[in-house]
A and B are shown apart, each in its own frame.
Chain A
Amino acid sequence: MTSGYGRFALARAGQAAVVVLLAYVLTFLVISVLPGDAITNSLRDPQSGLSEADIQRIVEFYGLDQPVLVQLALSLGRFLTGELGFSLQSNLPVSQIVGDALPSTLTLATMALAIAVVFAVAIAYGAHYAPPRWAGILRSIPSFFLSVPNFVIGLVLIELFAFRLHSFTTTDPNSATATLFAAVTLAIPVSAPLAEVLIASLDHESRQEYALVARSRGLAEAQLFARHLVKPSALPSVAMVALIVGELLGGSVITETIFGRDGIGTVVQKAVTGEDQPVLQAVVSLSAVVFVAVNLAADLLTPLLDPRVNVREAANA
């Protein structure tokens, strides 16, 4: 069993590493091969304030006078050693820019994830146990959440709570209340797929025989839910964690822009407007690393959490 699991874990980790490398290559190709020579454009921009020597240094650093494949090899080699290059806008190391922005986004994403889980569990619990009329409404909430654009949620929350009720001010985006509302904005679209999966698996589990047995032993529905149903119903959502991380990373671009927070999303937005290739490349490939790592962790955890999952089958899937 252990050697089987070890082989499965190794194979999955190898796959994950390959995917990360290919994601880096794909991003690089999209950024550099598609029309427009952004690096030279922004270097030659008289407002960049770079001297001829500086430009020469940067051109040499990125190998801009050489073919794309050489540039790719150069860039990929640096990425593998953890060197992310320099921003073309501010000349700061990309690792420093990302490092400065990371705590803000991490706080926002963690809070959003917690809120999303609470929302999803509440919706699923309600959809399952509320009287039929309310349950029907609760069941349609995920679909409603998925239909509202992130930026609309943010703007409505700001309009209501900042401008009308004065719960927070948009000039101080890092205050606890402002962060809370930003997290709610990010959490709503994330909670929808989670709630859908929870509802489906809760429906499935409560029809199983062990639930019937527990009920016939006189267990109240709330106890049944807490003691027997929560754990197996939560399993399918472990597989969704990676998807959720992707949502959180993508959604942070919009949410941070609306609430004026300085995080990874804002870094992306500034890099796009300023055609700052190295920053864009770094943030996108790092988010692929995060996505793949979380996915890997979820895959490796599932056989440990659920003994019914056959490792050998999972390895072939």
Chain B
Amino acid sequence: MSADLNFARLRSAGTATLRSRAGIPPTVLVSFLVILLVVLWSLFPSLFTGYSPVNGDTGSKLDAPSLQHWFGTDYLGRDQYARVVYGTASSVTSALVAVAIGLVVGSAIGLASGFRGGWLDATLGRFVDVLLAIPGFLLAVVIVSSLGFQTINAAIATGVSAVAVFARLMRAEVIRVRRSAFVEASYLEGGNRLQALLTHVLPNAYRSVLVLAVLQFGTSILVIASLAFLGYGDPPPSSDWGLLVASGKTYVTAPWLVYAPALVIVATVLSINRISRWLRNSK
């Protein structure tokens, strides 16, 4: 009986390996393609459009979408597609900065309070409670208004308002892992606390935090776009997605100026959310 349980059979008993071979669902594939396009837009915008995002041809202002101008033109005759493509880098990097801040600071807080426990947990826990008590968007607005209206400050503000969520999750994961048999075993083998933390607790706790980071990336794009929409990001002629929507809404006769960047935001965030859900389920 026990002889049947050879290595190959034991290996295939894991659901994770089985499921990852089941293939990627088509919607997830499309989502990855969308994200790939967005990444390429932000890295090499000039490959995707021959138009300038800053200089327009005043002879063709507020033109409807056509073969020359896919997303139409704005009130200065600038190609809206070029504006969206060139605005990608700033919109995406600021969301990355926000996630990085939330992930690093939040994880550190959660790790410390979950692993150390006691007074440190109590103190950090109160701090996280306070961060959670102020509605996230209001907190971001207050921070950005103190730091000054720039996209990078909007990113910092968004990151700080996400710290609490990461801290909560990391703490819960660490507490779950800390009591497992393999952590106790590492102490019995003579390992110290730092060793246990780095080689056993962290590798087993970080997965769901990473899934949250992907989800938070989408949320950050939305929050930063909202801050840019209110005018708390870089001023024109920069072309953050949120700012494009805000400046487009003045021209009632040219709704494509709103719809085109809005569609890009929705497609990006939808794709990120889909990927995050897929990662969570195939964990």
Q: Which residues of A contact B141 (CB under 8 A)?
A: 253, 268, 272
Q: Which residues of B contact A19 (CB under 8 A)?
A: 126, 129-130, 133
A251 to B223, CA, bound (A): 10
Which of A26, A143, A148, A155 has a CB less than 8 Å from the CB of B134?
A26
Q: Which residues of A contact B127 (CB under 8 A)?
A: 22
B218: Cβ under 8 A from any A Cβ: yes
Which of A20, A147, A245 has a CB less than 8 Å from the CB of B266?
A147
B185: Cβ under 8 A from any A Cβ: no
B50: Cβ under 8 A from any A Cβ: no
Nearest-neighbor residue (CB-CB) of B140 within chain A: A250
Are B142 and A20 in contact (CB-based, < 8 A)?
A: no
User: Which of A1-9, A218-226, A287-295 makes up part of the contact surface?
Assistant: A287-295
Which of A23, A163, A273 has a CB less than 8 Å from the CB of B133?
A23
Nearest-neighbor residue (CB-CB) of B225 within chain A: A149
Q: How far is the CB of B212 from chain A (nearest CB, A)?
A: 14
A272 to B233, CA, bound (A): 13
A166 to B65, CA, bound (A): 25
A273 to B148, CA, bound (A): 10
Are B249 and A155 in contact (CB-based, < 8 A)?
A: yes
A15 to B277, CA, bound (A): 34
A287 to B134, CA, bound (A): 7
Which of A146, A159, A269 has a CB less than 8 Å from the CB of B230?
A269
Nearest-neighbor residue (CB-CB) of A164 within chain B: B255
Which of A35, A36, A249 has a CB less than 8 Å from the CB of B135?
A249
Q: Which residues of B contact A273 (CB under 8 A)?
A: 231
Q: Which residues of A contact B231 (CB under 8 A)?
A: 273
Q: How far is the CB of B22 from chain A (nearest CB, A)?
A: 18
Q: Which residues of B contact A249 (CB under 8 A)?
A: 135, 138
Q: How far is the CB of A270 from chain B (nearest CB, A)?
A: 11
Nearest-neighbor residue (CB-CB) of A250 within chain B: B137
Per-position binary interface string of chain A over residues 282-317, scored 1 when its CB falls under 8 Å from any chain B CB and 0 otherwise? 011001100110010000000000000000000000
Partner-B contacts on A (CB < 8 A): 15, 18-20, 22-23, 26-27, 30-31, 34-36, 143-144, 146-152, 155-156, 159, 163, 245-247, 249-251, 253-254, 257, 268-269, 272-273, 275, 280, 283-284, 287-288, 291-292, 295
Partner-A contacts on B (CB < 8 A): 126-127, 129-131, 133-139, 141-143, 145-148, 218, 222, 225-226, 229-232, 242, 245-246, 249, 252, 255, 258, 262, 265-266, 269-270, 273-274, 277
